[in-house]
Amino acid sequence: MRPSLIPMPREIEYTGGKSILRADAPVTVTYAPELPEEAYELKIEDGKVTVSASSEAGEFYARRTLEQIIRTCGEECDDLVIRDAPVLSYRGFLVDSCRHFYGAEELKRLIDTAARFKLNKFHWHLTDDQGWRIEIKRYPLLTEVGSVRAGSRFGGVDEGGPYGGFFTQEQIKEIVAYCAARQIEVVPEIEMPGHFTAALSAYPFLGCTGKQIEPMQREGVFPNVLCVGNEDAVAFVKNVLDEVCGLLPGKYIHIGGDEAPRTRWCRCEKCAARMRRQGIRNYDALQGSFIKEISAFLKERGKTAITWNESLKGGVLSPDDVLVQRWMDRKKLCPAFTRAGGKLIEADFYHYYFDYPYGMTPLKKAFDYDPYSKSGADGVFGVEGALWTEFVRTFDDLCEKLFPRLLAVAERGWSGFPTRDYYDFRAAAIVLLPLLKENGIPTLSPFRWDPRSRRREIADFFKGSLSPGSIREMMESRK
Ligand code: ACM
Ligand code: ZN
> Same fold for the domain at 11-84 and the one at 90-186+198-221+308-474?
no
pTM exceeds cut of 0.75: yes
Cα separation values, 467 from 215, 220, 470, 474, Å: 18, 10, 5, 10
pLDDT at position 130:
98
Residue 406 gets the label, from left (phi > 0), alpha (psi -120 to 50) or beta, of alpha
The DSSP line for 125-140 is E-EETTEE-B--TT-T
Nearest to 368 by CA among 308, 306, 412, 404: 412
388 CA closest ligand 1 atom index: 2
Tell me, in angstroms, the distance from the centre of ligand 2 to residue 267's CA: 8
Within 13 A of 445's CA, how many CA atoms are on the CB side? Answer: 3
- CB-based neighbours (< 5 A) of ligand 2, an ion: 208, 227, 229, 268, 270-271
Asked if residue 187 lies in contact with residue 123, where contact means CB atoms within 8 angstroms, the answer is: yes
**In the chain, pLDDT over 70 holds for what percent of residues?**
97
Q: Is the separation of the CB atoms in 315 and 285 below 8 Å?
A: yes
Provide the residue ranges of all domains of the chain, joining segments of one domain with +. 11-84, 90-186+198-221+308-474
CATH superfamily of 90-186+198-221+308-474: Glycosidases (3.20.20.80)
Instruction: Tell me the pLDDT tens digit for each residue of 368-419.
Output: 999 999 777 789 999 999 999 999 999 999 999 999 999 999 999 999 999 9
What is the DSSP track for 200-240?
HHH-GGGBSS--------SSS--S--B-TT-HHHHHHHHHH
Summarised one tens digit per residue, pLDDT across range 364-373 is: 999 999 999 9
> Helices 283-300 and 269-278: crossing angle, nearest 10°?
80
The pLDDT of residue 389 is 98
User: What's the residue count for the chain?
Assistant: 479
As a whole number of angstroms, the distance between CA 419 and CA 345 comes to 20
Strand, helix or coil for residue 220:
coil
Cβ–ligand 1 contact at 283 (below 6 Å): no
How remote is the CA of residue 327 from the centroid of ligand 1, in Å?
7
Are the C-beta atoms of residues 55 and 34 closer than 8 Å to each other? no
112 lines ligand 1 (CB under 6 A): no
Mean pLDDT, the chain, whole residue set: 95
pLDDT exceeds cutoff 80 at 100: yes
Ligand 1 test: best mutation among 258, 307, 312, 313, most atoms within 8 Å of CB? Answer: 258
Ligand 1 centroid–CA 473 distance in Å is: 13
Looking at the CA of 477, name the nearest ligand.
Answer: 1
pLDDT tens-digit map of 209-262? 999 999 999 999 999 999 999 999 999 999 999 999 999 999 999 999 999 999
Percent with pLDDT over 90 in the chain: 91
Give the whole-angstrom CA distance, residue 356 versus residue 332.
25
Model confidence at 455, pLDDT cuts 50, 70, 90, reads confident
CA distance 389 to 387: 6
> What average pLDDT does the segment 174-193 reach?
98
Q: Whose CA is nearest to atom 3 of ligand 1?
A: 258
What per-residue confidence (pLDDT) applies to 459?
A: 82
What pLDDT, in 10s, does the model give residues 295-328? 999 999 999 999 999 999 999 999 999 999 999 9
Q: How far is CA 239 from CA 139, 145, 327, 341, in A?
A: 9, 18, 28, 31
Instruction: Give the distance between the most distant pair of CA atoms in the chain.
Output: 77
133-162 burial string, b = 16+ CB within 10 Å, else e? bbbbeebeebbebbbbbeebbbbeeeeeee
- CB hemisphere CA count around 129 (13 angstroms): 21
Q: How far apart are CA 138 and CA 207, in angstroms?
A: 19
Cis geometry, peptide bond prior to residue 442 (ω within 30 degrees of 0): no
User: Residue 79 pairs with which residues in a beta bridge?
Assistant: none
Cα distance between residue 228 and residue 215, in whole Å: 20
Distance CA 381, CA 375 (A): 10
In this structure, the strands spanning 48-53 and 322-326 are: unpaired
List all residues 6 or more positions away from 308 whose beta carbon is below 8 Å from its beta carbon. 256, 257, 258, 259, 324, 325, 327
The reply to whether ligand 1 has any atom less than 6 angstroms from the CB of 78 is no
β-sheet bridge partners, residue 95:
124, 387
Between 470 and 155, the higher pLDDT residue? 155
- Any atom of ligand 1 within 6 Å of the Cβ of 353: no
Q: Is the pLDDT of residue 476 over 60?
A: no
Q: What is the dihedral of CA 389, 412, 315, 252, to 10 degrees?
A: 70
pLDDT at 238: 98
- Give the pLDDT confidence score for residue 478 in this predicted structure: 45
The pLDDT of residue 474 is 55
Residue 259 near ligand 1, beta carbon < 6 Å:
yes
Nearest CA to ligand 1 atom 1: 258
Right CATH number for 11-84 from 3.40.1410.10, 3.30.379.10, 3.30.465.10, 3.50.50.60?
3.30.379.10
Distance 257 CA to ligand 1 centre (A): 9
Beta strands at 27-31 and 48-53: parallel, antiparallel or unpaired:
parallel
Q: What is the mean pLDDT of residues 451-473?
A: 72
CA of 244 to the centre of ligand 2 (A): 24
What was the pLDDT predicted at 475?
Answer: 55
Whether the pLDDT of residue 191 is over 70: the answer is yes
Q: Does ligand 1 have an atom closer than 6 angstroms to the CB of 308? A: yes
Mean pLDDT value of segment 64-79: 93
For residue 19, list its beta bridge partners: 77
Strand 185-192 and strand 252-256: the pairing is parallel
| Ligand 1 in reach of 477 Cβ (< 6 A) | no
Instruction: Please compute, for residue 240, the number of CA atoms within 13 A of its CA located in the half-sphere on the CB side.
Output: 29
Strand pairing of 148-149 and 163-164? antiparallel
Mean pLDDT of 153-181: 97
State in Å: Cα 258 to ligand 1 middle: 6
* Cα–Cα dist 15/21, whole Å: 16
Please state, in angstroms and rounded to a whole number, the distance separating the CA atoms of residues 70 and 84: 18
